[in-house]
C-alpha cells in the first residue's frame, strides 16, 4: 500500500515556504539536520536559499532604480537601528517575500541606519496559532510591527466553514495588538489579506490533497473590517484586485509572484510616506 500523498513537491518549493528553524529552533542539532530533512545535500540546501535571496535582492534593486521610490524609502519613518518585525503567514514567510525584499531595500538604500527586518512569518498559521507564540516573537522588542495575518483564517477545509470565524479573527488581531502595546513601544501597520485566484487554487495538487479552498468574499470581508482599525492599513485587496490579477498571483492561486511581492513593498512604502 502506498501511503505517500499523490504529489511530490520539490525541495525548492518546500524550502521557499517551510522554515522549521522558526518553529523548532530550540531542538539540538536541528540546523545541521535541515538539509537531510528536505532530502538535499548541505550544498544544495544553501544553494536554493541563496538563489531566493539573490532574487529578493534583485527585486529590491529594480524597485530602487525608480527615483521616486528611492526618495520615498529615504523618507520612511524608521529611526536609526530600528527593529522591524514582519508578521504573517506563508506570504510573509516566503524566502522572496515582501519582508525579504524590504530587508534588501533598506540595506541598500539606508546602510548607515543599520535597520533590521525580522521575518517572523509562519507558513500555514492562523491568527489563533500565532497568538500562542506571540510573546516570544516580540522578544527582543521591535520598534515597528507590520502584520499581514488572516489568509489562513479564511481557508475552508473540505468546503466547510473558515478555519477562524470573522469575529474571532478580528478579536485575535486586536488581542495581538493589545499584547504588543503592553510589551513593546512598537508602531503598527496592517496588511489586509491577499485575494486569490480560485481556479488556480482548485487545480493545485497540494490544496486538493488538503481539501483547502478560499473564497474572495471571505477575504474582502476580513479586509473591510481591518480597514477600520486605528493604525495605518495597506489595502492589498485594492493592490491585487478581485480576483487577483494573474500577473500578481502565482501558479497555485494563493501565493503572490515575485512581481506581486514587489507590489506589496511598493504599497507599504507608499502608505508609510503618504
In a domain, 6, yes or no: no
* Residues 238, 72 contacting (CB under 8 angstroms): no
Note whether residue 160 is domain-resident.
Answer: yes
Q: In the chain, how many domains are there?
A: 1
37 pLDDT higher than 90: yes
Asked if the model's pLDDT at residue 4 lies above 80, the reply is no
For the stretch 47-72, pLDDT in tens is 999 999 999 999 999 999 999 999 99
Omega within 30 of 0 (cis) for the link into 218 = no
Query: pLDDT per residue over 132-178, tens digit each?
Result: 999 999 999 999 999 999 999 999 999 999 999 999 999 999 999 99
Torsion of CA 164, 165, 166, 168, to 10 degrees: -80
Q: Check whether 9 has a pLDDT greater than 90.
A: no
Res 242 pLDDT > 80: yes
> Which residues lie across from 190 on neighbouring strands?
147, 233
Residue 263, in any domain of the structure? yes
CA 150, 216, 194, 51 dihedral sign is: positive
Q: How many residues does the chain have?
A: 274
Residue 153 lies in a domain: yes
Q: Specify if 249 maps to a domain.
A: yes
Supply the CATH number for residue 120's domain: 3.40.50.1110
119: β partners: 86
Report the C-alpha gap between 150 and 127 in whole angstroms.
6
Contact 184, 142 (CB under 8 A): yes
Which domain range does residue 218 map to? 11-272
Considering the domain boundaries, does residue 3 fall inside one?
Answer: no
| CB-CB contact of 130 with 124 (8 Å) | no
- Report pLDDT for 1: 46
- Whether residue 61 lies inside any domain: the answer is yes
Domain membership of residue 2 (yes or no) is: no
pLDDT range class, residue 268, cuts 50, 70, 90: very high
Q: What is the mean pLDDT of residues 216-229?
A: 98
| Cα gap 201→265, rounded to integer Å | 24
Give phi and psi for 93, each to the nearest 5: -65, -25
Q: What pLDDT shows up at residue 13?
A: 85
Amino acid at each position: 500500500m502506498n501511503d505517500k500523498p499523490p504529489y511530490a513537491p520539490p525541495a525548492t518549493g518546500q524550502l521557499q515556504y517551510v522554515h522549521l528553524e522558526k518553529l523548532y529552533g530550540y531542538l539540538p542539532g536541528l540546523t545541521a539536520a535541515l538539509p537531510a530533512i528536505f532530502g538535499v545535500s548541505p550544498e544544495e540546501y544553501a544553494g536554493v536559499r541563496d538563489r531566493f535571496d539573490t532574487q529578493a535582492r534583485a527585486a529590491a534593486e529594480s524597485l530602487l532604480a525608480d527615483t521616486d521610490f528611492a526618495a520615498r524609502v529615504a523618507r520612511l519613518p524608521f529611526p536609526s537601528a530600528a527593529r522591524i518585525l514582519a508578521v504573517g503567514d506563508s506570504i510573509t514567510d516566503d524566502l522572496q517575500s515582501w519582508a525579504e525584499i524590504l530587508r534588501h531595500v533598506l540595506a541598500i538604500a539606508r546602510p548607515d541606519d543599520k535597520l533590521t527586518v525580522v521575518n517572523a512569518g509562519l507558513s500555514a498559521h492562523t491568527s489563533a496559532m500565532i497568538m500562542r507564540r506571540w510573546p516570544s516573537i516580540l522578544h527582543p522588542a521591535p520598534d515597528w510591527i507590520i502584520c499581514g495575518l488572516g489568509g489562513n483564517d479564511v481557508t475552508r477545509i473540505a468546503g466547510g466553514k473558515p478555519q477562524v470565524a470573522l469575529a474571532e479573527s478580528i478579536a485575535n488581531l486586536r488581542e495581538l495588538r493589545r499584547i504588543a502595546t503592553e510589551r513593546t513601544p512598537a508602531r503598527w501597520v496592517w496588511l489586509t489579506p491577499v485575494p486569490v485566484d480560485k481556479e488556480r487554487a482548485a487545480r493545485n495538487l497540494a490544496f486538493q490533497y488538503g481539501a483547502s479552498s478560499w473564497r474572495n468574499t471571505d477575504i474582502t470581508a476580513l479586509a473591510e473590517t481591518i480597514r477600520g482599525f486605528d493604525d495605518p492599513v495597506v489595502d492589498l485587496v485594492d493592490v491585487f484586485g478581485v480576483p487577483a490579477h494573474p500577473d500578481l498571483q502565482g501558479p497555485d492561486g494563493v501565493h503572490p509572484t515575485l512581481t506581486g511581492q514587489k507590489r506589496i513593498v511598493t504599497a507599504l512604502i507608499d502608505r508609510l510616506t503618504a
